[in-house]
Chains A and B, each alone.
Chain A
Amino acid sequence: MLNYIIRKLLSMIPMLLIITFLIYLGVELMPGDVMDFLIPMDQLAEMTPEQVDAFKAAKGLDGPMIVRYFNWLKDICKGDLGYSLQNNMPVGELMMQKLPATIELSLAALFISTVLGILLGVISALRKGRLSDNLLTIAGMIGVAIPQFLFGVFCIIIFCLNLKWFPVGQRGTGGLGDELHHLFLPAFVLGISMTAGVMRYSRSSMLDSMNRDYVKTARAKGLPEWKVNLFHGFRVACTPVMVLIGFRLPMLISGSIVIENIFQWPGVGRWFTDAVKTQNTPIIMSVGLFMVLLVLLSSLLVDIFTAVLDPRVKLS
């Protein structure tokens, strides 16, 4: 097991290098010049070419892209994420400030979509063909299809502005109750498409499992229906659902960028959009690295999960 994890982690390194390089290249190819964002127009117009070059050199913006990428890589290996081009603050420190909000939002969305998705999916499967199943199936289709930003805007208009059930945006500051109050709506919106996906998958997975012979064996043992459903039908059905959730984790992370902007959530996502707008390479690279790491780690998590849940799977 440990052996496997280590090998898997090592195999991620080339992937990380390629992806971070591509991100670096992407930033480089963005239209416009970083200098436009760092120095006001009128000042920039008065600077001599020598002054501009000196400024660039001071910020580490000179030289060919390849060289700069490897410089960045060297710093990363030393644990240095660099400094924001805008205000010279260390990126690592800024990240630590922004990260908790994003983690909180993503975990809440993950929790909602896992619990709600599995619950509704299983109910839907057990009541197959009845009204509740049909309604849930339609809701699931809408949930999968609707764009998150649209759904977010609808929710803000309805629940925040009209019904005034939830505050509009921002993170709560007045204790746990207030925090949850602020958290619920953005987390729900962030989790909606994942909830719908998990629900649809749980339903089909559960239906498949309930049609298997071992379920009939379980009934033939005289087990009550709830045990048949839970310990036999659901227990087997939950493995593929967990795999799906693992593979969709990156969706939550990328989704949080959109949601944080709509709900003015002070997290990494919003910070990232601002950085992209101003071509703030150190921030873009740090957040990018973080996201890529999460994606790769979640695939490792999926493997471990599968091995734990299914005795037939051996990690090797």
Chain B
Amino acid sequence: MNLHFELILEIIPYILQGLFITLEFTLLSAILGFVWGVVLALFKISHNKILNGFAVFYTSIFRGLPLILSLTLVYFATPQLFHYDITALEAGVITFTLNSAAYISETIRAGIAAVDRGQREAAIALGIPYRKMMWDIILPQAFKNILPALVNESIALLKDSALVSTIGATDLLRRANIVAAEKYLYFEPLLLVGFIYYILIISLTWVARILERRMRRSD
């Protein structure tokens, strides 16, 4: 076996630019997905039948479709439908936001349901309005319970982000493939980006542990 890591030294900067794209993409999708997921979760626990039905239907759609199908659909259908020339990054962020919100909303809904009923009653008895009760009393407690699940969701998001390479975004994986095609070297660049993904995910897990520990301070 002959490996040529010296050959890819020169393309490391090129690969690292892909890292920024992967991170930008994951971070944007995670944040937007979380916000939209919270909204969907609130729809799911609301007594409004329309909001409730919408959120349930929405979730079933994203659960029922392969992610790569949604992604290609958004990327290729948007220019056709809206006459907007969507970039691969935009298409990726939109799809992954919509998708991860569907999953996260289920997690958050369960997290809210797991918060002691008495918390809500105490808040109501104090005259705290619904919105403040949710944001300041219920959601922080729910969030703490589901933090590990949320981190798992971000890890999944980071891994799935490699799918944007299929629509041409020059993320980590795509760049590895480009290098591979140019230099006829497959193992080394793929191993390199594999290593980068691995480090990212391990760090994420580690950050989550610290967060969890800090939040447990109040227990």
Same complex origin of A and B: no
A residues neighboring B (CB under 8 Å): none
Binding site for A on B (CB under 8 A): none
